[in-house]
A and B are shown apart, each in its own frame.
Chain A
Amino acid sequence: MRQGKIIRVAGPLVVAAECLGAKMYDMVRVGHLGLIGEIIELNNDRAYIQVYEDTTGVGPGEPVVLTEKPLSVELGPGILGSIYDGIQRPLDVIRARHGDFVSRGIEVPALDRERRWPFEPVKKVGDRVLAGDIIGYVQETPLIQHRIMTPENGDGEIIEIKEGEFQVEEVVCRIKKDSGEIKELNLFQVWPVRKQRPVKERLMPFEPLITGQRILDTLFPLAKGGTACVPGPFGSGKTVVQHQLAKWSDAQIIVYVACGERGNEVADLLLSFPELKDPNTGRPLLERTVIIANTSNMPVAAREASIYTGMTIAEYFRDMGYSVALMADSSSRWAEALREIGGRMEEMPGDEGYPAYLASRLAEFYERAGKVVCSGSEERIGALSVIGAVSPPGGDLSDPVVQATLKVVKVFWALDDRLANMRHFPAINWLQSYSLYRDSLKKYLAEKVAEDFVELSQEAMKLLELEAELQEIARLIGLESLSYKERLILETARSIREDFLHQNAFHPQDTYTSMRKQYLMLRTILHFHHRANEALEAGKEFNDIISLEVRDRISKMKYLPEEEETLLQVEKEVDASFKTL
């Protein structure tokens, strides 16, 4: 292989000469240790390389080996349940071979080469296939069937297809292309991470991603194939929100990218996922999850690559026709990695020292989400939803990463320090947050949840907004100056906040709420409000109404089991208690 020579080392940036002919974003092996790097700028025969491992001990004169291949991931059976670093090296294998600390220059294939997978073909000899067509299945985990697809430019006629147990590198199918060329397919494909995987057509999202988190599903829903961002200062619960989504959302595949975050949080995921059961299938959640972990102390350049690695894996499963959700925690750390590399390359900085291309890179990333018709001749529909956490300095939303993200995402879940301090979790501010999918999801929610679900959620939003206005007045001239009807609004809004929006992620019952239960809870709260309004009009005493015992029942509804009867009972009790007035 061709070689260049190092002429400068500055942290994660290495400059090499004699690299004429190298291509942008090609992978290279740096120095005697063979550290993995990627070319990010070319200048005559000089290549600027970002190195994915610590460069201590590397110096000028050492060789740089050009692999002449872009940074790519391996896509095939064995991905699910894995934990990878930012460039798809399996961390469990690395640990088994090299110990508890990540050393350097390690080369491990992403997919297990030894393991045999049962392959069941669905096509037969003589069938014509297009690129993206499914040729067979591998039951990768009890939960997920891995669909083996023909790769890009894999059109042609099948001249051989096998059945049985295979290792990923073994040939299972041969295709004769129209040009006469024979293409051999094994169980995995290789795809460059920075290149978007093709789709046949993009669709408008219309179906909600159900998360079991009441404030999200009821007030600020995300669509399958949509994009959301969760910005907030430290301690406001970004990671808990992300973990809750990874655990409970009804996507079929979860790709969790821990990008520059805490090691212990990754440990938490790894230890809790095998034990947590998917509410829909009862299988361990790990069977549908891929974790990409590049924690904050791991090399900064690999952090930059990690979200692309995660995205490419997510796209691959989407192409099989699955609904996939990708969580990136946190995109700010990714942006900081860009800034650090940009700084070392002596680029002209933009806002806050971030490179000028920050916004376009972010937009490019989020645009890879979507609901699509997958490539291939079948009409497969896949969806890829992306939820990015953002960690703005000091929680300041004018931060360039937040601003650039808000320009492209459709759902904004604003985390609020003040709420977190009151231990109101999820600390999502209901006045600042928004979802632009509310309209497109209306029809689906009315059909699948309840006719009046959307109206109820709008009424709840309105009450919360009124509350903010009334509180302002009360603060200035005292609570006494408000009418009883206005004070009732305050009481109901408080009930919505404390009894509905507040949700304890660590309580076994409260951690997940079905859409039906969410609907019934909200309906009961608002039913009380309507009955109380009527009672006030009928001249009943305000204090009697708000001290009704049934309000205590309403506040405990979140802890009730998911049984229609039990839940409807509370509403009946509301009616009964108004009769006692």
Chain B
Amino acid sequence: MHKEYLTVSNIVGPLVIVEKIADVKYNELVEIEDSRGRLRRGTVLEVSTDQAVVQVFEGTVGLDIDKSRVRFLGRSQQLPVSEEIIGRVFDGSGRPRDNGPQIIARKRLDINGSPINPDARDYPSEFIQTGISSIDGMNPLVRGQKLPIFSGSGLPHPRIAAQIARQAKVLGKEEKFAVVFAAMGITFEEANFFIEDFRNTGALERAVLFLNLANEPAIERIATPRLALTCAEYLAFELDMHVLVILVDMTFYAEALREISAARKEIPGRRGYPGYLYTDLATMYERAGRIKGKKGSITMIPILTMPEDDKTHPIPDLTGYITEGQVILSRELHRKGIYPPIDVLPSLSRLKDKGIGAGKTREDHADVLNQLFACYARGKEARELALILGEAALSDLDRLYLKFADLFETEFVRQGEFEARTIEQTIELGWKLMRQLPKKELKRIRPEYLEKYYSPA
């Protein structure tokens, strides 16, 4: 039996301060029973000889000072796991929300995990074909990568994420795979969109969902992605599955973190977010990867909405410094009616170099990718120039580039929501566009490939 304390002295925002404690540990799980017997959970954020600061996941509404009973559980927050976890839906603190039974634990795992030893990491090098040209062709995703989608409110990031989850596959292989989906603070409609999509494609049987919706306790969001990642680690490194983790929306997660930080009266960093936001995000994002000698992998697609579409806002900024690239959505393309509105130029996949080329995608992939980038960038510059000076002022060559940029957006980037292009089709499409330009403009392509692919077969 755990000791019960009736010594709550202070309640501030999501924090409860308990006095006269003994033998309490940092980061320990806490149970609080309010005067009506309702249970809430929390963790210890700070502990000294006579007092503990506890963050309460479900919020502090209805808690009182004199009747709340506090129990320290002597362990940190854990997730019970077993094979049965696949196909289940949980709430943001890991309780079943699909009317199913509790998971009979084969193991209980600490949701904070431990860092992967850098020496144990295997470098991600298996190309994942998502069927989306602007990702496969320009910013390829590989197994074990963490590639976030930087979106804005009103942009179709859920549709893109669902399309990736639906179409993603590694060429020439049939392996066990699973989707782990964590929702933090998104609306019922958005969450339902994913669930329905998973259900329609049969993915739900291979998925584990952790849902904390917009109307549910904000502080619980701190735990939600950690639960999802703990589950993913179990599936990947103990059950040898290839796991795709989708986290939406990291912005709400960071806001919950800020709320706690403010309640603790910590010195804020940029825009009120705590100074340790980078470290905190890293402890989650870095849980993606591959481990030498293990079959499974964790590939992560965190989604965040950039406040005011601002890439330099702390949340996208710090995320970009941790993740291996980013896919940025563009409001301008979206307004033009282009789906998926992926802004190719500022998007980036850092791990592409080892995942593409002969034997993986196609020998000329890297060169085509670089050339398409350079041409599209030049075309966009020409477009800006044409806006100022009029199209007539452009040189003939610039006009060609301008046309290239238009075609690139309408033919290469644009595609159907259920259209899965093979990498072969994507690269050929790239060549088709590049043939609009004179051969000697294609400086980024090795002469032998230019010889082989420039003239249509």
In the complex, the answer to whether A9 meets B269 with C-beta atoms within 8 Å is no
Whether B119 and A91, one on each chain, are in contact in the complex, defined by CB atoms closer than 8 angstroms, is yes
Find A57's partner among B26, B118, B145, B353 (CB 8 Å cutoff): B26
Looking at A267, A337, A353, A480, the one whose CB has the most chain B CB atoms below 10 A away is A267
A100 and B291 contacting across the interface, CB-CB below 8 Å:
yes
Q: Which of A54, A91, A235, A555 contacts B320 (CB 8 A)?
A: A235
CB neighbours of B42 from chain A (8 A): none
Q: Is the CB of B121 within 8 A of A9?
A: no
* Min distance, Cβ A69 to any Cβ of chain B, angstroms: 26
Stretch of A115-123, A186-194, A197-205, A393-401 lying at the B interface: A393-401
Task: Mark contacts of B263-307 with chain A using CB atoms, 8 A cut-off: 1 yes-contact digit, 0 otherwise.
Answer: 000111110000110110011011101011010000000000000
The answer to whether the Cβ of A331 comes within 8 Å of any Cβ in the partner chain is: no
Interface string of A78-92 (1 = CB under 8 A from B): 000001000000011
Q: A421 to B47, Cβ gap below 8 A?
A: no
A234, B275: Cα distance in complex, Å: 18
Query: Is A100's CB under 8 angstroms from B116's CB?
Result: yes
Are A475 and B385 closer than 8 Å at their CB atoms? Answer: yes
Q: Size class of B's contact patch?
A: 35 or more
Q: How far is the CA of A417 from the CA of B112 in the complex (A)?
A: 34
Q: Which residues 33-55 in B have Cβ within 8 Å of A in the complex?
A: 45-49
- Majority SS of interface residues in chain A? mixed
Instruction: Give the residue name and chain of the B residue nearest to A395 (CB).
Output: B312
Could you tell me the distance in whole angstroms from the C-beta of A397 to the nearest C-beta in chain B? Answer: 12
Contact B121 A263 (CB under 8 A): yes
A480–B291 Cα gap in the complex (Å)? 59
Q: How far is the CA of A8 from the CA of B52 in the complex (A)?
A: 9
Instruction: Determine the distance from Cα of A352 to Cα of B440 in the docked complex, in whole angstroms.
Output: 50
Contacting residues, chain A, for B353 (C-beta < 8 A)? 506
Given contacts A57-B27, A235-B325, contact A353 B123 (CB under 8 A): no
A521 CB to closest chain B CB (Å) equals 15
* Contact residues, A358-379 vs B (CB, 8 A): none
Do B114 and A7 touch (CB < 8 A)? no
Contact call B393/A478, Cβ cutoff below 8 A: yes
A422 CA to B24 CA, complexed, in Å: 55
Question: Is B322 interfacial (CB 8 A cutoff)?
Answer: yes
**Interface residue from B351, B370, B377, B447 paired with A264 (Cβ < 8 Å):** B351
CA distance A498 to B115 in the complex (A): 42
CB of B358 closer than 8 Å to a CB of A: no
Interface 1/0s, chain A 530-548, versus B by CB < 8 A? 0000000000000000000
Q: Evaluate contact between A300 and B275: CB separation under 8 angstroms.
A: no
Q: Tell me whether B49 and A60 are in contact (CB under 8 A).
A: yes
Rounded to whole angstroms, the CA-CA distance of A421 and B348 in the bound complex is: 9
Interface segment among A151-159, A219-227, A290-298, A405-413: the answer is A290-298
Determine whether the beta carbon of B348 is less than 8 Å from that of A57: no
For B45, B237, B270, B276, which residue has the most chain A Cβ atoms within 10 angstroms?
Answer: B276
Rounded to whole angstroms, the CA-CA distance of A258 and B115 in the bound complex is 15
Whole-angstrom CA separation of A396 from B317 in the bound complex? 11
The answer on a CB contact under 8 Å between B115 and A353 is: no
Nearest CB of chain B from residue A492's CB, rounded to whole Å: 16
Closest to B74 in A: A57
Q: Is B389 an interface residue (CB 8 A)?
A: yes
Residue of B nearest to A336 (CB): B278
Judge if A518 is at the interface, Cβ distance under 8 Å: no
Closest to B120 in A: A100
The answer to whether A333 and B278 touch across the interface, beta carbons within 8 angstroms, is yes
Size bracket of the A interface: 35 or more
Instruction: Take A340-B275, A353-B275, A421-B346 as given contacts and tell me if A56 and B76 are in contact as well, using a CB distance cutoff of 8 Å.
Output: yes
A332 and chain B: residue at smallest CB distance: B321
Task: Provide the bound-state CA to CA distance between A479 and B397, in Å.
Answer: 13
Please name all residues of chain A whose beta carbon is closer than 8 Å to the beta carbon of B366 when the two chains form the complex: 506
Nearest residue, chain B, Cβ from A90:
B119
- Cβ proximity bits A38-82 to B, threshold 8 Å, 1 near / 0 not: 000000000000000011111111000000000000000000000
Q: Decide yes or no whether A212 CB sits under 8 A from chain B.
A: no
CB atoms of B49 and A7 under 8 A apart = yes
Chain B residues numbered 310-328 whose CB sits less than 8 Å from any CB in chain A: 311-314, 317-318, 320-322, 324-326
Q: Is the CB of A91 within 8 A of B278?
A: no
- Which of A55, A104, A349, A394 lies in contact with B26, CB distance below 8 A? A55
Q: Which residue of B lies closest to A60 (CB)?
A: B49
**Residue B443 at the A interface, CB < 8 A?**
yes
CB contact under 8 A between A270 and B119, given known A57-B76, A339-B269 = yes
**Alpha-carbon distance A87/B370, docked complex (angstroms):** 40
Q: In the bound complex, how far is the Cα of B441 from the Cα of A552, in angstroms? A: 9
**A101-B116, A234-B317, A263-B116 known; A59 and B269 CB under 8 Å?**
no
In the bound complex, do residue B291 and residue A343 qualify as a contact, i.e. CB atoms below 8 Å apart? no
Asked if B420 CB lies within 8 Å of chain A CBs, one says no
Are A267 and B121 interface neighbours, CB within 8 A?
A: yes
- CB-based contact A10/B118 at 8 Å: no
Q: In whole angstroms, how far apart are the Cα atoms of A11 and B113 in the complex?
A: 16
Asked whether B122 is an interface residue with its Cβ less than 8 Å from the other chain, the reply is yes
Shortest CB-to-CB span from B254 to chain A, Å, is 14
Contacts of A479 in B (CB 8 A): 393, 395
Please report the C-alpha to C-alpha distance between residue A498 and residue B393 in the assembled complex, in whole angstroms: 24
Closest to B319 in A: A234
Q: Is the CB of B322 within 8 A of A296?
A: yes
Contact check: which of A264, A391, A555 meets B124 at CB < 8 Å?
A: A264
The reply to whether A393 and B314 form a contact with Cβ atoms under 8 Å apart is yes
What is the minimal beta-carbon distance from A10 to any residue of chain B, in angstroms? 4
- Chain A, 318-338, CB within 8 A of any chain B CB: 333, 336-337
Give residues in A with beta carbon < 8 Å to B.
7-11, 15, 54-61, 83, 91-92, 94-95, 99-104, 233-235, 258, 260, 262-264, 266-268, 270-271, 293, 295-298, 300, 333, 336-337, 339-340, 343, 349, 352-353, 391, 393-396, 417, 420-424, 475, 478-480, 498, 504, 506, 552, 555-556, 559
A-B contact pairs, 5 of them (CB 8 A): A262-B286, A264-B324, A394-B313, A422-B377, A423-B374
Known: A10-B47, A394-B317. 18 other contacts (CB 8 A): A7-B49, A8-B46, A9-B46, A56-B26, A83-B119, A94-B119, A100-B291, A103-B114, A233-B320, A234-B321, A235-B326, A267-B289, A295-B286, A343-B276, A352-B269, A420-B348, A422-B374, A475-B385
The 6 closest A-B pairs by CB, nearest first: A394-B312, A296-B282, A297-B286, A59-B25, A234-B320, A8-B48
